[in-house]
Structure 1
Amino acid sequence: MNDDASTGSATGGTGAASDDGIRLQKVLANAGVASRRVAEQMIVEGRVRVNGETVTELGRRIHPETDLVDVDGTAIQLDGSKRYVILNKPTGVVSSMNDDRGRRDLREWADQWDERLYNVGRLDADTSGLLVLTNDGALAHVLAHPSFGVTKVYIAKVDGQVLPQTIQRLIKGVELEDGRIAADKARLLDSSRGESLVELTLHSGKNRIVRRMMAEVGHPVIELVRRQFGPLHLGTLPVGQARELTKVERGALLTLSRRDGDAPSE
């Protein structure tokens, strides 16, 4: 007998419950967290929270459409309609789903999925690297809005030999035409043959911020790549390739969104 049946009947034989909800252990199993038996053990051990409250009773029923669940502090994706994709954007591609000037745009990758995906934030056409595509508007808001402080890590190849005092200047802040801006972190990775590699960590969403900062300190950018966005890392994903996030990556993103957002991302 289906343990999620209640006074109403299940629909279509899918195990969907009536308005009383679905047993928490079944929800966890359906989300791929663990088998139902292991999920029950997690609940008993106090490792599962629903809407911020620890649940230890096995009879707890929830509504996956509205309730937020986390295990060991990591958010669990319950809404299977949400899609999260990471793209290693090549240079020459504009961060738009429909460029009105006919340039190469993001539809080339977004069209690989049935859902209507949008880019989270932008990368300049001449900047490559990590870009997130999703149909989760609430999560996109948290990732893209600078007020939430989500950091991005860039590697910039710049002209000239960058000195330690220049790195310190980037951290202390430089004056640009639209205000003062400071890197959250900065470090010199390499300097040779008249060029340097600089790693910059920023949470600013200002336009072309890395290029403007490096130009201000006298080292114009030659090449720029974004390697990290919040908890996501580019890793070994080849340029021009896209993939769905892993379960661990999705959990990290949703955890970030629920911690910092004004609304649940599911």
Structure 2
Amino acid sequence: MTELSHEGERLQKVLAAAGVASRRVSEQLIAAGRVTVNGVVVTELGSRVDPLVDKVAVDGSAVQLDPDKRYVMLNKPTGVLSSMSDERGRPDLRAFTAEYPERLFNVGRLDSDTSGLLLLTNDGELAHVLAHPSFGVTKTYIATVTGTATPATMRRLEAGLELDDGPIAADRARVVGEPSRGRSIVEVTLHSGRNRIVRRMLDAVGLPVVELVRRQFGPLHLGTLGVGRTRDLTRVELGQLLTLSREPGRPRSGIGAPDAAGTAMDDDESDSE
């Protein structure tokens, strides 16, 4: 059990304010040993925490205690830059963040001609961890390609290829459905953050990409969210994302907001035009 502090707010009050449960139910969760503070089980109802500093989890799922933090999923359309501003006046992400009072920025990037799941947030710490090269968050893409994709070709992607900037291998690759009208649909999952890596991998095996959509980012799934639409993450999704980012050994240095352009570190499909 953690050493009790005379400062901060009572743990059950903080949990209730975070929307975990009512204060009474939160007290029951604490008494049952289901709540941890900074990785240590706390069962004393008099425990106090600092919502801006302490890391709290319930049943192993991280809880965001700061009510000012926001997490938004965007289904980015093609033709939109993953930036909060563009000196050439091209379409950027401001059209999708204007309705939110917080100053949101994107976690990683998608190339302008790639659509799909992009995370927007004002949580600089989370953005830094998720976009850090050593984090290796997995992403899943659905690609429409020219040519006939076969299981043998998918095995080549998983075995690894040698590209101009070094070797690369997909975590998983599979053919989706049957080829039609000279095109195939494939699903590729990988954790690399290299520039336009999915397109380059598929091109290297003779399957040039016609259309590319990111369907999954870590534990987040695009689901039925329409192109150009946004929604706040659910409490479950946020818990999964925060839990993943708090795993031991995750990068912590250089924490802060992105640059003035509103972009985090380059991700799998960065804008390189």
Q: Please, what TM-score do these two structures have when normalized by structure 1? A: 0.90
- Hey, what does 1:78 align to over in structure 2? 65
The code of the aligned residue for 1:261 comes to R
- Single out whichever of 251-260 and 149-158 deviates more from structure 2: 251-260
Q: Distance in 2 between matches of 1:150 and 1:74?
A: 18
TM-fit CA distance, 1:75? 0.5
AA at the equivalent of 1:144? A
Residue 108 of structure 2: which of 85, 98, 121 is its match? 121
Other-structure match for 1:45: 32
Larger Rg, first or second structure (1 or 2): 1
Aligned length, in residue pairs = 249
Match of 2:14 among 19, 23, 27: 27
Give the 4+ runs in structure 1 shifted more than 6 A. none
* Contact 2:160–2:168 (CA under 8 A) maintained in structure 1: yes
Is 1:65 equivalent to 2:33 in the alignment?
A: no
**Aligned residue for 1:220?**
208
Given candidates 161, 167, 177, the residue that maps to 2:154 is 167
Secondary structure of 2:134's counterpart equals helix
Three-state SS of the structure 2 residue aligned to 1:171 is helix
Secondary structure class of the residue paired with 1:148: coil
Q: Take 1:19 and 1:86, find their aligned partners in 2: how far apart are those partners?
A: 38
- Residue 23 of structure 1: CA displacement? 1.0
Aligned to 1:243: 231
- The one of 162, 172, 186 equivalent to 1:185 is 172
Q: Counterpart amino acid of 1:205?
A: G
2:77 aligned residue (90, 93, 97) = 90
Q: Does 1:234 align with 2:222?
A: yes
SS of residue in 2 equivalent to 1:67: coil
CA contact under 8 A between 2:135 and 2:251: conserved in structure 1?
no
CA positional deviation for 1:263: 3.8
TM-superposed deviation, 1:138: 1.5
Distance 1:218 1:258 in 2: 39
Pick the aligned partner of 1:140 from 103, 107, 127.
127
Shift of 1:57: 1.1
Q: Partner of 2:126: helix, strand, or coil?
A: helix
Tell me the alpha carbon deviations over residues 5-64 of structure 1, each in whole angstroms, 9 at most, x when there is no partner.
xxxxxxxxxxxxx96221111111111100111111111110000010001111111111
- How far apart are the structure 2 equivalents of 1:263 and 1:161? 44
**What letter is aligned with 1:20?**
E
Equivalent residue letter for 1:134: T
Equivalent position of 1:261 in the other structure: 250
**1:2-21 → structure 2 map (5 Å cutoff):** 20-21=7-8
Could you tell me which runs of 5 or more consecutive residues in structure 2 were left unpaired when the two chains were aligned. 257-273
Q: Is the 8 A contact 2:6 2:48 kept in 1?
A: no
Does the 8 A contact of 1:138 with 1:261 survive in 2? no
Distance 2:31 2:122 in 1: 34
Alignment-derived partner of residue 6 in structure 1 = none
SS in 2 for 1:210: helix
Relative to the length of structure 2, the TM-score reads 0.88
Match of 2:259 in 1: none
**Following TM superposition, by how much is the alpha carbon of 1:238 offset from its aligned partner in structure 2, in angstroms?**
0.3
Higher relative contact order (CA 8 A, sep 6+): 2
Describe the SS at the equivalent of 2:86: coil
How far off is 1:240 after superposition? 0.4
Say whether the 8 Å CA contact 2:52–2:65 is kept in structure 1: yes
Task: Render the CA deviation track for 1:169-193: whole Å, top value 9, x for unaligned.
Answer: 0001111110110001111112222
